[in-house]
Amino acid sequence: MERFVDVAPGVRLWAEDFAPHGGVDGTAEPLLLVMGANASGLAWPDPLIEQLAERHRVIRYDHRDTGRSTWAFDERPYAISDLADDAIAVLDAFGIERAHVVGMSMGGILVQLMLLDHPDRLLSATVLCTTALGSGLARADDTEVAGSPAPPGPDPALLALWQEMGRPRDREAEIAWRVEHWRLLNGTGTPFEAGEFRALEERVIAHAGRHDNPAAHARAAQTGLDRGAELAGVEVPTLVIEAPEDPVNPPPHSGHLSRALGRGRLVRVPGMGHALNSTVVAPVAAAILTQSAPAAAGAAS
């Protein structure tokens, strides 16, 4: 079922929920998917949602300035931290008191903010392809914690491509740019099928009704992200999925985050990069479902 969620004056988010297989079941615990920067909720692959819906009521949504949600950053700018509040507003709109939450890339940063500010709303958390608050791309400035070595940054080829992110292009050129972006994000540890990601981006463009990319999240304020020291107090069980071939947040980002969390644990998906291609869907789904199982998440209740 699709719906729109009002999260701020003049700002609406598109959201969609999937009933657990077999129909609506009040005993099925909800699971919220939080996607990365400048990415529609459709970037969560349907086969992944199908597997998660074996047990959960699954919800995905479009961030501001993506998909069918409001595109108005230039008129109503916001901070990355505001997007974490948006995720809570989506839960409120669906009448969900507590949920398992899964965040990828920037979505993993938002989940960390939810763990700190709204722990009572989370049954469990899973983050993947991300970095700890106050570290790497989740720093409010260019300084590192005194005495700590700087973690590795994104692949220089990605940094060069990101410089072109917001440039105007016609539809075909934009799709070509996005497919190349996915090729770099995917890395070399698993096969990259250009047709798979071209089909994805064609769906995303049809869903949004536009092909431009304002790169709003790259321009959003990063104030309030230097909160890494608070992660040690997190009581919600949190799984960190490490993608060893991730060109954005390569190891040791995931290991650092799992150690920083009060109740973090780490699993690795061999060969995975910064993309949910068809070869990694099954192991990622299995890791999420293990984390959301009653035995794993029960301590958060």
Tens-place pLDDT, residues 284-298? 999 999 999 975 655
Higher per-residue confidence, 148 vs 255:
255
Query: Can you tell me the distance from the alpha carbon of 68 to that of 233, in angstroms, rounded to the nearest whole number?
Result: 36
Tokens for 177? Answer: 């740019």
pLDDT for the residue numbered 24: 54
pLDDT of 25 reads 54
Domains of the chain, CATH where assigned: 2-300 (3.40.50.1820)
| Predicted structure pTM score | 0.95
pLDDT confidence tier of residue 145, bands split at 50, 70 and 90: very low
Q: Give the whole-angstrom CA distance, residue 153 versus residue 248.
A: 7
Handedness of CA 145, 151, 156, 158 (dihedral sign): negative
User: Which one-letter amino acid corresponds to residue 37?
Assistant: A
pLDDT of residue 301 exceeding 60, the answer is: no
User: 216 and 64 in contact (C-beta within 8 Å)?
Assistant: yes
Q: Which amino acid is at 156?
A: P
User: Is 166 a residue whose pLDDT tops 80?
Assistant: yes
Residues involved in catalysis: 105, 246, 274
Distance CA 301, CA 297 (A): 7
Q: What is the mean pLDDT of residues 234-246?
A: 98
Mean pLDDT, residues 156-167 taken together: 96
